[in-house]
Amino acid sequence: MAEHGFESNDDYEFQLRCLLSSPFEGVRALNIEGDSNRRRTAFGNALARAMEYPHILYHDFTQQHPPQPDVILPPSKDEQGREEPGIDPFDQILSEACAFSEGEETILILDQLQAADFREHIRIYRFLQTGKWEFRDAAYFANPAFLLVFLISEEPLYHSLQKSSYRVWVSSISHRQVPYRPEDFGLDEHALPIMEALSALFEILQMTPTRSEYERLLHDIGDHVRTSDHLRHAIFAWTEGVDRQLLYSDELAHLLDKVVDAITLFVGVDEVELAAPTDLAQ
């Protein structure tokens, strides 16, 4: 999933296995909950691409002007010359999901459901139960074996809809502790005191950086970090979801100093002579 824009130390393999093996007879749905931001959207899109399904469809209920479809049908008129309104983008994408799922694996991502009319929640619930989508006297049928629906909302889902889906929590930070070692980043044992001091710091912050975040942090530590303030800036810059207020609190001052002391022993202290500012008028 990291290759598709979502990185976390947390493992979602168990939840996905349970979802795919569920005995639910209708269309399987994943209810993606978590800390309020677009991280859930990133999770859903990255998971869909990591699963390598041939078709991934996305609909955002807050999007006022959805993109035009690949094929634009001309307006139709009845015998009395009355023009039929265009197909709603939501109905369009549901019918497409049904059509694709007839022969190939398909994922449909419905994002920002809190902005949808409550009647649409009921329609989605009925669809998950029956695999049948209806609009304008037409009916479209999904193949439950080939279709997955991801549900994302800023607010709790309609009760019946929630009961018909498998719920997963996506946190803004990684809670699972990862015992990084110097050799994981091409360093020797002399870097161990720095990493041990960082571990104590992150334990109080109640988080562990992902591998790429930790790698970027180590780069700044080697090249730039020489004070506690430097370290605060580097941690805040690279670690998503870190509690900034706690990071800058007096409670962590001694732990930050320990990391800086370990850095000093590892890389030494460079004396930097600041150049006089250039007179731009010259």
> Which of 170, 196, 215 represents a domain boundary (last residue)?
170
Asked whether residue 282 is domain-assigned, the answer is no
Per-residue confidence (pLDDT) for residue 64, from 0 to 100: 66
| Tens digit of each residue's pLDDT, the chain (282 residues) | 878 888 888 888 999 999 999 888 899 999 999 876 678 999 999 999 999 999 999 999 998 655 555 555 555 555 655 555 567 899 999 999 999 999 999 999 999 999 999 999 999 999 999 999 998 888 999 999 999 999 999 988 889 999 999 999 988 777 677 889 999 999 999 999 999 999 999 999 988 899 999 999 999 999 899 999 999 999 999 998 899 999 999 999 999 999 999 999 887 644 433 334 444 444
What is the side-by-side order of every strand in the sheet holding 166-170?
55-60, 106-111, 147-152, 28-34, 166-170
Residue type, 153: S
Residue pair 234/224 in contact (Cβ under 8 Å)? The answer is yes
Asked whether residue 281 is domain-assigned, the answer is no
What does the radius of gyration of the chain's CA atoms come to, in whole angstroms? Answer: 26
Which residues have CB under 8 Å from 117's CB, separation 6+?
none
Q: Are residues 108 and 231 in the same domain?
A: no
**Rounded distance between C-alpha atoms, residue 233 and residue 239, angstroms:** 10
Where in the sequence is the domain holding 223, given as residue range(s)? 182-267
**Rounded distance between C-alpha atoms, residue 212 and residue 223, angstroms:** 17
Q: Are residues 84 and 218 in the same domain?
A: no
Tokens encoding 3: 């290759």
